[in-house]
Amino acid sequence: MEIKAIRGFNDILPDEIGKWQFVEETAREIFEGFGFSEIRIPVIERTELFSRGIGEATDIVEKEMYTFTDRSGHSLTLRPEATASIVRAYLEHQIYTFDPVAKLYFIGPMFRYERPQKGRYRQFYQIDAEVFGVENPMVDAEVVLMLIHFLKKVGLENLELQINSLGCRNCRPRYREELKKFLEKKSFQLCEDCQRRLQTNPLRIFDCKVETCQEAIADAPKVMDFICDECQKHFDKVKEYLKMGGLDFILNPRMVRGLDYYTRTAFEVVSYQLGSQNAVTGGGRYDNLFKDIGGLDVPGIGFAIGMERLISLLPKDKEFTQYPHLFIAALGEENSKKAYELINQLHLHGIRAELDYEGKSLKSQMRRANKLRAQYVLILGEEELRRGKAVLRNMESKSQEEIPMRDLLNTLKTRILHD
Ligand code: HAM
């Protein structure tokens, strides 16, 4: 039986990789320009990190984690997100002793056992950015500004920035109670999962896709109406700073995010070109996560961009693939050796070159050069060799010129790299 990849796990093939590299390079460039440093975290962590960090009564922890017991009997989990791991790393390595403020980013795959569909996979990539140690709402706006700058820089258009405030541990319990009271009256409308959520974590009902649950919650009380003065002041400042940064946003009082660690600012960037899985990015502030994981009181804020969704939105007319600069079509044994010598030199000088390894005819080598979309073909023919010349053909303009075999490397470098 043919072995295939597991459902929800994708290969990223060479013809798509240019987009991934472009996005990753742009993220590195922009984030580092904003003072962020890259961090790399393990793929597997102790299960407890996520159950404590993300929250026991969330979909991720309840039903989406890839959890297994290792040979020593430890419960381990493939990371479903990066924030909890980055927080753990900051605490474990006491990064705060160097500077209490840390700006970190991470790029890598995440794993969630969700039902695969367009834009939703079981292994998916995130670009994640986090700022630790700053409570000032200025940083909330700065992080969002960096995000939008990046999304625009890679060519995304028609995005909508949605924001909300989820309050804090002082004001949210009262909202939770109000929401619960409101929904208890409508519990007959709720699906089985939401009946349970009503007792364990009523805010999660906002995320439910079942139509009757959506109807039940349609005119539910809004968290924004229950936040305390401190949270309100913080939120007002975030909005003010976003406006100062020239960003448009809409308030979405129903956006509660799917992870329990959020406090105060929450945001998503959505694209209506994406269909039902329309969030390109989700993020927010989490001022209690450090306490929950490691007992230290450090505020944090960040976001994660879904790379598959982002890549599906890249401009269609932009070329991301790198094709060979040059194809060397050599004819005959002696020319083939010359081609081998030359190609090694070209590669050392950063010229993407290809050749034929099978002694094929000129016609078939030209066909391959065409298929590979080489910019130039260098023809090393028997006749030309006798005259000490080679033919350089520009595959786009179809023009040809004879160039001397002497100093071939330098001539090619000038033609190709300064083209
Ligand atoms: P999240 O909203 O769970 O947040 O995920 C962030 C983004 O990852 C989503 O907006 C989406 O683009 C992408 N994503 C999530 N699940 C899938 C999936 N199954 N398939 C494809 N793409 C997916 C977090 O993960 C938080 N850690 C974000 C954060 C960082 N908050 C603060 N700091």
Residue pLDDT, tens place only, 316-370: 989 999 999 999 999 999 999 999 999 999 999 999 999 999 989 999 999 999 9
Structure confidence at residue 394 as a pLDDT band (50, 70, 90): very high
**Ligand 1 atom having least distance to the Cα of 286:** 32
Q: What is the 3-state secondary structure (H, E, C) of 292-343?
A: HHHCCCCCEEEEEEEHHHHHHCCCCCCCCCCCCCEEEEECCHHHHHHHHHHH
Q: Ligand 1 centre from 351 Cα, in Å?
A: 39
**Is the pLDDT at 385 greater than 90, yes or no?**
no
Residue 19 — φ and ψ, nearest 5°? -65, -45
Our answer on whether the CB atom of 279 is closer than 6 Å to any ligand 1 atom is yes
Q: Ligand 1 centre from 276 Cα, in Å?
A: 15
Half-sphere exposure of 226 (CA within 13 A, CB side): 19
The predicted pLDDT at position 18 comes to 96
Contacts of residue 255, Cβ cutoff 8 Å, sequence gap at least 6: 162, 163, 164, 206, 266, 267, 268
- Angle 137-153/14-33 helices, nearest 10 degrees? 150
Structure confidence at residue 419 as a pLDDT band (50, 70, 90): low
Q: Is 374 helix (H, G, I), strand (E, B) or coil?
A: coil
Q: What are the tens digits of pLDDT across the range 131-164?
A: 999 999 999 999 999 999 999 999 999 999 999 9
- 302 and 312 in contact (C-beta within 8 Å)? no
pLDDT averaged over the chain?
95
The predicted pLDDT at position 275 comes to 83
Our answer on whether the CB atom of 112 is closer than 6 Å to any ligand 1 atom is yes
Tokens, residue 173: 């319990």
Q: What are the tens digits of pLDDT across the range 214-234?
A: 999 999 999 999 999 999 999
Tokens, residue 103: 């700006």
Contacts of residue 288, Cβ cutoff 8 Å, sequence gap at least 6: 169, 261, 263
Q: Ligand 1 centre from 126 Cα, in Å?
A: 7
Structure confidence at residue 276 as a pLDDT band (50, 70, 90): confident
The predicted pLDDT at position 273 comes to 87
User: What whole-number distance in Å separates Cα of residue 184 and Cα of residue 277?
Assistant: 29
- Mutational pocket test of ligand 1: of 9, 105, 124, the residue with most ligand atoms within 8 Å of the beta carbon: 124
Q: Ligand 1 centre from 305 Cα, in Å?
A: 6
* pTM for this entry: 0.94
Q: Ligand 1 centre from 234 Cα, in Å?
A: 24
Contacts of residue 363, Cβ cutoff 8 Å, sequence gap at least 6: none
Q: CA 173, 176, 181, 184 torsion: positive or negative?
A: negative
User: What whole-number distance in Å separates Cα of residue 406 and Cα of residue 389?
Assistant: 8
Ordered DSSP codes for 161-198: EEEEE---TTTHHHHHHHHHHHHHTTGGGS-HHHHHHH
- 356 and 305 in contact (C-beta within 8 Å)? no
The predicted pLDDT at position 260 comes to 92
Q: What are the tens digits of pLDDT across the range 187-206?
A: 899 999 999 999 999 999 99
